[in-house]
A and B are shown apart, each in its own frame.
Chain A
């Protein structure tokens, strides 16, 4: 039997020991003596969050299909265990073998959101791997980052040996082959990084120098090593059907945030909302084959025993074979007593019909994401949803028996006026009116409309990447405008309002568009105790502000400033296919309130066509 890294005394005194013992259904055990490469795959947040992430399951499966590689999982120890590990000097370990991460060949860290950055330092620290790549020796694993936040890796640059820009299924195998070769050769750490730097999509930050202007903006970003490429090209899987998809994902013992089978039906999105990073990063939109999805769904249900299956994509309604897929799932799942959950569906006659079949109308709620309160602002952000469509959908849903509606909006979008903010309240009111138009004897009590607003954070590689942000107090004022306007509505008792925290937004904005200077702040904040920043009970805005002040770095340089279109942005050395010219065009159109058609209506020449696949070639072969 395996020896656990933590003893009984520790495991019986911490919350949820199941987070740390491994041994889950479908987890992969190998003989460590019989593999060449040991890969620790880390999601830098608590187990229940990390276990819900599809990307890790895909890479875990893909790596473990190699006989020479054993991929294991690592998550952030919760603060209760973190404390014990520091006191008792227990190094961080991987779940499967329970061996220290420090002894692995690679530590791969997925970068899904900015607010987990301090957790990355926690993982390195607890693993006893030097925080800065420059301080690592041949005895340490190579630390590698990937995922959406790797598209602006600069605030993390000193902490990583390399970043992987693109989808993991593409060149990872090449990289592992090169590693094996290097390991046998006895060459230096730097020599491996030079070999890696030549693999498409691999970025080695130490091989680049950044020079700054007097005003703090970037003057030049230049390779300092002959092996380093000028531009790092995003790597994309063009055939999403015949690539790795885990048929036996790991099933946790404790309830994960996503306690279900996840079926990714497509990658990318045709919509082109101007605030949405995923919508640009994952272009071109690529659909998976219907038969592949049917077969995979069946295999996943059989191998996990999960009670629920969920479709995953940025906009499920745009999947061209959705009705066929859903018909199949309804039949297959009702026989197997598996529930179906259908997130990201556009509310229309079709989806309401489907939802009434798969869920209890009385208990479920409908979700709309108008994102902005007025048609003018929805045009600015290129969100193709109109008030008419929303009201029709809501009306239809109310007649179908639903009484609960959730509405998602963003505050702080470019060009926003007070009228736009108030428009949020007015739209909620109009929806409530639709409900009360139904004769009293035919409706079920009061309706419940939940309005949630988050504050907009401009992200790299979006048309809004140049936009300015606001101060914490300004955000709270905006939320107050919405709140008061909702209270002034006739049906205010049916409308509930929630808004996101403003200080987290400010910090997320700094980290999202930060440069290498922000790395020092990140390290200082961590040393002061910042960790689990995405958890409101642990988030300490004051520690971060202290760190900025001590280092003499102005946080508002990263937030308030609207960038000029000529400025060299920290992430300009990465190419995602979508060109900067296209993003500039979109930014200018946004300022004029002009909309851009979606990829299926008309090609707008974004640049992703260079990948020659997906929606860009639909109907052309």
Chain B
């Protein structure tokens, strides 16, 4: 049985990188006594796949990984068992059954993600930054310099910003994510700082991921569904 586990990563845990979070969950699944499936061979690996890596320094309430179980367990029990072995800042939000097969792999499903971005005190892009948000989004193009390992190239990230709106003192972003089209909240905010005529420092931002979505729309129509909703509660 394949299950999808949704978890939150907050507080000091934001300093733990993606690879270490994978190792953390391999051990946590063992401590929780879930009967996970393993690969063959002398050093068997737990069969698990993570949806979308989260950068160091970013918190989240919408992280996912898929896990293959040999013995089924109810959603309620699995959540309880996992939460009993979590550390401060890590919380399992749901465990749901998802269809087997490569097509349903969490990582290949990822199409979009929601973020809440706030500014550290005194590091906002000017006093009237809120007024600039609509104009920023009305631009035809938002060009930024994207640095790769080999070179830099200019790209238009406008098509990847699905939504940008003010929420209190924070900015909500719905951005393209995944292997085909994607952009990062840092890049969008870097462009926004430039738009406000301010110098951008990555440390100005506190980024929180809220949710990760799959695209179920056909023929260019957008229909985003959270990865959690693709699964079903196990009784």
Contact = CB atoms under 8 A, between A and B. Distances in A.
A305 B23 CA distance: 10
A612 B15 CA distance: 51
A335 B151 CA distance: 49
Contacts of A304: 27, 31
B41 interface: yes
Interface in B39-76: 41-44, 46, 56-57
A246 to B, nearest CB: 15
B27 A23 contact: no
Given A1-B11, A8-B57, A23-B88, A253 B24 contact: yes
B30 interface: yes
B20 A254 contact: yes
B15 A306 contact: no
A337 interface: yes
Contacts of A322: none
B56 A305 contact: no
A556 interface: no
Contacts of B44: 337
B29 A21 contact: no
Most buried by B among A4, A254, A304, A359: A254
Interface string B101-121: 000000000000000000000
Contacts, number: 75
A302 B31 contact: yes
Contacts of A18: 15-17, 20
A253 B38 contact: no
A96 to B, nearest CB: 11
Interface stretch (A9-17, A447-455, A511-519): A9-17
A336 interface: yes
A254 B203 CA distance: 23
Interface string A342-381: 0000000000000000011001000000000000000000
Contacts of B159: none
Contact of A305 (B28, B43, B88): B28
A255 interface: yes
A303 B41 CA distance: 25
B26 interface: yes
A548 B7 CA distance: 57
A337 B33 CA distance: 12
**Among the interface residues A251, A305, A359, which one has the most CB atoms of the partner chain B within 10 A?**
A305
Contacts of B38: 337
B57 A25 contact: no
A23 B16 CA distance: 11
Contacts of B57: 8, 12
B27 A306 contact: yes
Interface in B2-31: 11-13, 15-17, 20, 23-24, 26-31
A17 B31 contact: no
Contacts of A255: 20, 23
Contacts of B15: 11-12, 17-18, 21
A474 interface: no
A interface SS class = loop
Contacts of B20: 18, 253-255
Contacts of A23: 12-13, 87-89
A307 interface: yes
B8 to A, nearest CB: 13
A2 B88 CA distance: 10
A339 interface: yes
Interface residues of A, number: 31
A307 B26 contact: yes
Interface string A34-67: 0000000000000000000000000000000000
A12 B56 contact: yes
Interface residues of B, number: 29
Contacts of B56: 12, 17
A2 B43 contact: no
Nearest to A336: B30
Given A12-B203, A360-B41, A305 B12 contact: no
Contacts of B166: none
Interface string B195-231: 0000000010000000000000000000000000000
B133 interface: no
B85 interface: yes
Nearest to B21: A253
A363 B85 CA distance: 34
A1 B88 contact: yes
A307 B27 contact: yes
Nearest to A334: B44
Contact of B26 (A22, A305, A339, A359): A305
Given A9-B203, A12-B56, A23-B88, A251 B27 contact: yes
B62 to A, nearest CB: 20
A305 B29 contact: yes
A303 B139 CA distance: 55
A254 B20 CA distance: 6
Nearest to A25: B87
Contacts of B33: 302
A139 interface: no
A156 B42 CA distance: 46
Nearest to A359: B42
A2 B26 CA distance: 26
Contacts of A12: 15, 56-57, 203
A86 to B, nearest CB: 21
Contacts of A254: 16, 20
A340 B57 CA distance: 35
Nearest to A308: B43
Contacts of A289: none
Nearest to B37: A337
A169 B168 CA distance: 57
Contacts of B27: 25, 251, 304-307
A305 B84 CA distance: 13
Nearest to A1: B11
A581 interface: no
B27 to A, nearest CB: 3
Interface of A: 1-2, 4, 8-9, 11-12, 17-18, 21-25, 251, 253-255, 301-307, 336-337, 339, 359-360, 363
19 contacts: A1-B12, A1-B89, A4-B12, A8-B203, A17-B56, A18-B17, A23-B88, A24-B87, A25-B24, A25-B28, A253-B16, A253-B24, A255-B20, A305-B27, A305-B30, A305-B85, A307-B27, A359-B42, A360-B42
Top 9 nearest A-B pairs (CB, nearest first) are A305-B27, A305-B30, A360-B42, A17-B15, A305-B31, A21-B12, A253-B16, A253-B20, A337-B38
